[in-house]
């Protein structure tokens, strides 16, 4: 109750202009959620970047969770997760032409980006809906199919970090990790359940996994099948969909779950190597996520995992209903501004 009252007061101060919000003079797209995590913000950010792949230059901005320091920093492909955060580093390596920045003060960071990126077309922000000092031009709210915000409560009773009423400020609402595409009646039911206004667009997103690939870039085929065993290790908020997918690829599957954004220690790697040596008859592989691989690269050399067969499974978010409409909304938000500039 106390936490909720603090949030109500904070939002009221912004809504009545007592505390000021800044609307940047370039297109901004904020992707966020009301829950503490696990809704798939980074995969949706990457989806937006793929949608805008013909528009350059584009920048992204996030806090860079888990990095050391709060300064404004441009992420390079050779950075470490300690310097930039695991997810920004993942984005930079996947989209080398995108300018990737991290900074705790979103308003100040956008000014910095504008000063350092000539002819900037747009900034896509990861996890920025709670930052009321920034008034983004387009707000995309994510919530999961299994635990939508309408059925949740504020912490500690639930997993929400912000008021459910904040959903009214999103132009686009996306239910992520959907197992199916609802029919017309189902979509109408979801709109009513979420309390959406007529002006708000609702989309349903699923997960698409790429084929496993070697951590070290080996070109040899990655073993798969029921005769192969897999030790999966993850440091993500919600690993359940990935666990199900890995079980569809391999026979015996064991899962070691670390906290979200976990920083792997030498003892962690020794424990993983020991568990790998004994968990199932061969042939075996170690499996991890792209996000975990970004953190693993700076600590694996000289460790017991260095010579073990590690594979990475990349995932991407896909819009299940009206993907062309989603693309149009994103491009239309940016295109008029770019033409004007």
Angle at 66 between CA 117 and CA 236, to 5 degrees: 110
Percent of the chain past pLDDT 90, that is, above it, reads: 83
Angle at 188 between CA 182 and CA 191, to 5 degrees: 105
Q: Go through the domains of the chain in sequence order and give each one's CATH number.
A: 2-208+318-340 (3.40.50.300), 211-313 (3.40.50)
**Residue 248 corresponds to which tokens in the numbers above?**
């569809």
Mean pLDDT score of the chain: 92
**Residue 331 corresponds to which tokens in the numbers above?**
């491009």
Each residue's pLDDT tens digit, 214-266:
998 788 899 999 999 999 999 998 899 999 999 999 999 999 999 998 999 99
110: left (phi over 0), alpha (psi -120 to 50) or beta: alpha
What's the Cα-to-Cα distance from 100 to each of 34, 72, 116, 225, rounded to whole Å? 24, 11, 12, 37
pLDDT at 340: 42
Q: Taking the complete model, does pTM exceed 0.85, yes or no?
A: yes
pLDDT at 129: 83
Segment among 58-72, 114-128, 130-144 with least mean pLDDT: 58-72
CB 290 within 8 A of CB 236: no
pLDDT at 341: 43
CB 74 within 8 A of CB 58: no
Each residue's pLDDT tens digit, 296-329:
998 999 999 999 999 999 999 999 999 999 999 9
In this structure, what is the dihedral angle of CA atoms 133, 236, 60, 145, given to the nearest 10 degrees? -70
**Residue given tokens 């099948």 in the structure block:** 225
pLDDT at 217: 77
């Amino acid at each position: 109750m106390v936490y909720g009252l603090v949030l109500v007061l904070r939002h009221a101060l912004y809504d009545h202009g007592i505390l000021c919000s800044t609307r940047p003079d370039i297109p901004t797209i904020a992707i966020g959620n009301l829950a503490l995590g696990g809704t798939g913000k980074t995969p949706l950010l990457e989806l937006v970047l793929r949608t805008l792949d013909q528009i350059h230059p584009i920048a992204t901005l996030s806090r860079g969770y888990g990095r050391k320091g709060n300064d404004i920093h441009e992420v390079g492909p050779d950075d470490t997760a300690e310097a930039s955060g695991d997810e920004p580093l993942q984005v930079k390596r996947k989209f080398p032409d995108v300018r990737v920045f991290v900074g705790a003060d979103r308003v100040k960071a956008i000014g910095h980006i504008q000063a350092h990126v000539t002819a900037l077309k747009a900034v896509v922000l990861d996890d920025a809906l709670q930052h009321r000092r920034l008034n983004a031009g387009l707000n995309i709210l994510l919530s999961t199919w299994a635990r939508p915000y309408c059925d949740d409560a504020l912490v500690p009773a639930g997993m929400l970090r912000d008021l459910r009423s904040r959903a009214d400020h999103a132009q686009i609402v996306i239910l992520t990790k959907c197992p199916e595409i609802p029919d017309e009646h189902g979509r109408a039911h979801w709109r009513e359940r979420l309390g959406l206004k007529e002006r708000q667009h609702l989309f349903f997103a699923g997960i698409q996994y790429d084929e496993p690939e070697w951590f070290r870039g080996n070109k040899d085929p990655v073993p798969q099948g029921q005769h192969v065993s897999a030790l999966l290790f993850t440091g993500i908020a919600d690993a359940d969909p990935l666990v199900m997918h890995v079980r569809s690829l391999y026979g015996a599957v064991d899962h070691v779950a670390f906290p979200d954004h976990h920083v792997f220690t030498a003892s962690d790697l020794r424990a993983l190597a020991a568990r790998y040596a004994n968990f199932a008859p061969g042939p075996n592989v170690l499996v991890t996520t792209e996000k975990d691989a970004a953190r693993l690269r700076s600590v694996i050399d000289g460790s017991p995992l260095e010579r073990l067969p590690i594979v990475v499974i990349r995932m991407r978010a896909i819009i299940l209903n009206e993907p062309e409409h989603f693309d149009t909304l994103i491009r239309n938000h940016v295109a008029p501004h770019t033409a004007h500039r």
